[in-house]
Amino acid sequence: MRHLILLFAIGSFLLTSCGNIEEEYVINTDGSGTYTVKSDMIPMMIDMTVSMTKAFSKDSTLNEDSLRMAVEEKVWKDFEGSIDSTIDYSDKMPDSLMEKPEVQHIMKNLRGFMQGSKKEQQLFVGATYSFSDNKDLEGFYNFMNKQNQNSENTKDPLSSFKSPNTKTSITLNGKVFTRKTVLIKEGDLPENTEKIVTSMTNEAKYRTTVIMPRKIKTAEGNGLVEFKGKKAVFEYDYMAYMKGKADTDFIITLK
C-alpha cells in the first residue's frame, strides 16, 4: 500500500510543500466495512504552481500571498462544476493475477475514485476497499504488501524506493477493535531521492480516522489526536509512515 500511496503522492503532488494523506475505516455492526485512502489534490495543485512560479520568476518583488490568491482563483475559475468518476483497477492487473480467485475478489471490491466540486472547493483522489470482515481486510493488506515487494523490480519512477515489508493484523472482538503492524524489513530511499520527497511532503501527515458502529469508550495508540462519539483520529509523520518507522498500532474499545 505504501508504494501505491507514494506513487500516487509524487505523481499528483510533485514539488508541493504540504498536504495530508487520509485513510479511513468505517466499521459496521456485523464487522464488515470500508477502508479508504484519499487526498485533496487542490491544495497540492496550488502549492505546486506557486513553487514553480517562484522558482522561475525573475521578479524579486513577487509577493507569495498575492500569488497564492491569484493561483487559487485561477484554479477554481477553470474548474467546471463537479467530478465524480471511478477507476477499475482490474484493467491494470496482469492476466496471470486476475486468474486467481482471491485477486478477483479484491479487484471486485476495490474502487478508485476522483470526487469533488467547485462549490465544496475540494477534489479528492483515492481508493476504497469494501470488506466483509477483518480477515477479508487482512487479505487485502497482505495482497498489497506482496505487490509492494514485487513492484521494486519494475522500472517505474520510484523503483529505487524499497517498500517496508510489513504484516498487519486486524481484530474485531465484540467491543474491541485493534490494528497491529509488525515490521519485517524497514523501507529505504536513496538519500537524494529522500531529500526530494521530504521537500515535497514537508510537514505532511498521514491521518487515520476510525468510525465505529457505536460510541467509543477508550482509544489508545501512538499518534492519537482525539476520540469523540463513534470516531477516533490518529496522525503520523508522512515519511516515517512510508518507511515503516511509524508506530501505527491502536486499540479502540466501545462502550
C-alpha cell at 50: 506557486
pTM listed for this prediction? 0.79
Name the more confident of 91 and 30.
30
In sequence order, which residues have a C-beta less than 8 Å from that of residue 230 and are 6 or more positions away? 211, 212, 213, 214, 215, 216
Q: Is the pLDDT of residue 14 over 70?
A: no
**Bridge-partner residues for 177, per DSSP?**
172, 252
Distance (Å, whole) CA 122 – CA 46: 12
Residues of the chain with pLDDT > 70: what percent?
78
Q: Is the pLDDT of residue 9 over 80?
A: no
Determine the pLDDT at residue 50. 76
**Which range, 138-142, 195-199, 216-220, is most confident?**
216-220
Determine the pLDDT at residue 161. 52
pLDDT band, residue 3 (cuts 50/70/90): very low
Determine the pLDDT at residue 66. 84
Instruction: Read off the pLDDT of residues 104-155 as tens digits, 9 standing for 90 and up.
Output: 899 899 988 888 888 888 888 888 999 999 999 999 888 887 776 665 554 4
Instruction: Read off the pLDDT of residues 49-83 as tens digits, 9 standing for 90 and up.
Output: 777 787 777 777 778 888 888 888 887 887 778 88
**Bridge-partner residues for 36, per DSSP?**
24, 128
Residues of the chain with pLDDT > 90: what percent?
29
Name the more confident of 186 and 76.
76
Determine the pLDDT at residue 5. 44
Determine the pLDDT at residue 134. 92
Q: For residue 8, what are the CA distances in angstroms to 4, 21, 74, 181, 218?
A: 6, 10, 24, 22, 33
Instruction: Read off the pLDDT of residues 17-39 as tens digits, 9 standing for 90 and up.
Output: 345 789 999 999 999 999 998 88
